[in-house]
Structure 1
Amino acid sequence: MELDDPRFHHSVLADFRDRLTEDGRADRLLDLALARLKEAGLVRERTTQRADSTHVLAAVRDLTRLELITEAVRAALQEVAGASPHLLDGLIGEDWGLRYGRPVRLGKNPTKPKTRILATGNDAVRLLEHLYRHGTDRTSGPRIQALRQIMVRNYHRDAAGHLRWRTAETEGGPGLPPSSRAVVSPYGNSARYAVRSGVEGTVNEFAHGHGMRRCRYRGQSKAHVQHVLTTIAINIERLSGLPPTEKAPPSRRPTAFQSYLDRCGISRPKSWRTLGT
């Protein structure tokens, strides 16, 4: 193509799409492409194919730094309680059950953040030192190692040896590690990848089954009301499709650390996910 070539008109692509919609040409083109893929061995018959679903990095929301360290302590306690629960004897008290008895949900503005930061950091140090004193072979688990890394990246010792929360250098602190080396989950790579096919199915139901791509009225508040009412309608539609003898889903079983707290008679907060256990 020469430099002074006028090139194609901007409407050519729209015309091409219109021609594909005539006489089922799009379906014939798709069938031809599928046949070529089968011949190349890229697609097999009668197999499950992932279509219209998003491959995301993690099926969990991002944790704040305080939530991360709290969840890391809880994950380490779960690991120890599942492998050698006797190692927790003499360490766990009532306050531990209240802080780590269920998954942490603090939000962006928790109450008494400085108190929580110091309490959680001291708990992590006590746990790691306690495990070290009772056998080095028990401190090599992946969640224990993740807790060590998270502690190094979020705490430091001052000149007097006291545990302090890491802050940026612009705030007068020792600085934070680069984001490329940050640990975002105490559960390692197993919790990083998931396929959100269920979410995509729900979005498709909203968009194509209930016309949620367009709002009837203008304004954010009116659009919000439409979304809420549509969600209620979808839930009613799904409930009406269940058989009358459908039993309620079973409650979630207690975790290893929660079972340890129950055996020791240590109270722990109950959430709606663990009621009835």
Structure 2
Amino acid sequence: MQPKDSGKIPAETVRVAGAAFPKGSLAIRVRDELGPLFTDEGFADLFAARGRPAWSPGRLALVLVLQFVEGLTDRQAAEAVRARIDFKYALGLELDDPGFDFSVLSEFRDRLVEVDAGRRVLDGVLSAAREKGLLKTAGRARTDATHVLSSARELSWLEMVAETLRSALNALARAAGDWLAGIAEPDWFKHYATRAEDSRFPKAHAKRDAVGSRIGRDGTRLLAAVFATDAPPALRALAEVETLRQVWVQHFHPGWTAR
């Protein structure tokens, strides 16, 4: 299914959203007050050379705004489109619309970055949202297109590295649970017990940096333990451990090599 514009909200979606949210929600307010701003025509320059995306660019821009306001990763935003009634309302979707793969959002952001016109349209939408009190930031925090796009990339990166570490820990627990219990830090079980996509990361940039640093340190400690001379050699051959090593070399320790 490839919706082409937000258009009129389906009657059943309006009815169910009204019953589920009698006092409304932020997503519903965004649609009611800013809906006309999210048109495909505003993003026409983005697709003159590379072709139109499967999903309406106006809708995807609205998803980016909702994603920023709620502090969602790409996976979480795509899941909200599939599962949340107020997101269905905001996007003008039928209740059974399956949404899109989360990778569509990163592809759309790439196009916005490539074309100044796309960022200008998104800046206009964000400005209108601020004027209506739909975007609230502390102090002089920016809410321009550059900040919104950067925030989404940052959250998705945190999700990726956290899930990479969690997967490695789970694989090690299955292969050598007693060994892992002997080297694990006490807070690892708290931080990495659930899938990263089921977690909410902080909205403040400084706190996100702290989370990223903590994940980096934890992964580094785990790799050091796995590649220590007294660790079971078979653990180094686990696919999840090799993925962890490759991701950490790329994002945390470019010069690190296993011994």
TM over 0.5: no
Q: Could you tell me the TM-score, scaled by structure 1's length?
A: 0.33
TM-score normalised by L of structure 2:
0.35
Q: Which is helix-richer, 1 or 2?
A: 2
Structure with bigger RCO (C-alpha 8 Å, 6+ apart): 1
